[in-house]
């Protein structure tokens, strides 16, 4: 297959997966964002890159956010929210982080493929995005699927943007109002 055909196949896979997202899960996730005093975000690998982009857009909307592990990240408090992006919901460092947050009275929200994962059991909001984890070795040779969790990471990025668009509508924000919060030291 060439690049064009692969790109079209990727888009079809993402369209099929996106059609299975449950709006009620997304609505719960959005309510938690709006209620949080401060939002911490974390993910590992490519999922971590997607969640950093989400943190950036949440900041553009005026939310108080930080990426876990950054030196300027503040101390957590009850009423804060930790958002984790993990396809498997079983990444060791993220499981420890979720447990610590839960024990500290910080709400946990998870974007994952695994509704019954360890982190999902600690979370008060779980948004399931269909896909195949990097550990899933079963690929149906008769149908197209990307390797190693790529579809999850791509759909996470798109779903984060869809959440931002929903929040923009709910908060009466525009690209112009958000741009006023965009970094000017770059």
Residue 149's pLDDT is what?
83
| Helix spans in the chain (H) | 3-18, 23-35, 45-60, 92-103, 118-122, 150-171, 175-179
**Which superfamily, per CATH, for 3-172?**
Glucose-6-phosphate isomerase like protein; domain 1 (3.40.50.10490)
Residues with a catalytic annotation lie at 153
| Spatial CB neighbours of 127, under 8 Å, sequence gap ≥ 6 | 21, 25, 26, 29, 109, 110, 111, 112, 159
> Can you say how many angstroms the Cα of residue 85 is from the centroid of all Cα atoms in its chain?
4
pLDDT(135) > 90: no
Neighbour order of strands in the sheet with 81-85: 65-67, 39-43, 81-85, 107-112, 125-128
Structural domain boundaries of the chain? 3-172
Percent of the chain with pLDDT over 90: 87
pTM value is 0.92
pLDDT(154) > 90: yes
For the segment 74-122, what is each residue's pLDDT rounded down to a tens digit?
Answer: 999 999 999 999 999 999 999 999 999 999 999 999 999 999 999 999 9
Across the range 4-25, mean pLDDT stands at 95
Average pLDDT in the chain: 93
């Amino acid at each position: 297959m060439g690049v064009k055909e692969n790109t079209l196949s990727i888009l079809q896979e993402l369209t099929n997966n996106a059609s299975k997202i449950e709006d009620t899960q997304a609505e719960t996730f959005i309510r938690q964002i709006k209620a949080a005093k401060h939002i911490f975000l974390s993910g590992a690998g490519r999922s971590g890159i997607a969640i950093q982009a989400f943190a950036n857009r949440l900041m553009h909307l005026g939310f108080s956010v930080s990426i876990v592990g950054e030196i300027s990240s503040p101390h957590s408090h009850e009423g804060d929210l930790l958002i984790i992006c993990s396809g498997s919901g079983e990444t060791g460092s993220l499981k420890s982080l979720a447990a610590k947050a839960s024990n500290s009275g910080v709400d946990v929200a998870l974007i994952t493929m695994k509704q019954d994962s360890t982190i999902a059991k600690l979370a008060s909001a779980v948004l399931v995005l269909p896909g195949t984890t990097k550990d899933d070795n079963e690929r149906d040779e008769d149908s197209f699927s990307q390797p190693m969790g790529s579809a999850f990471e791509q759909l996470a990025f798109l779903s984060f943007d869809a959440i931002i668009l929903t929040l923009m509508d709910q908060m009466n924000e525009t690209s112009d109002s958000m741009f006023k919060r965009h970094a000017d030291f770059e």
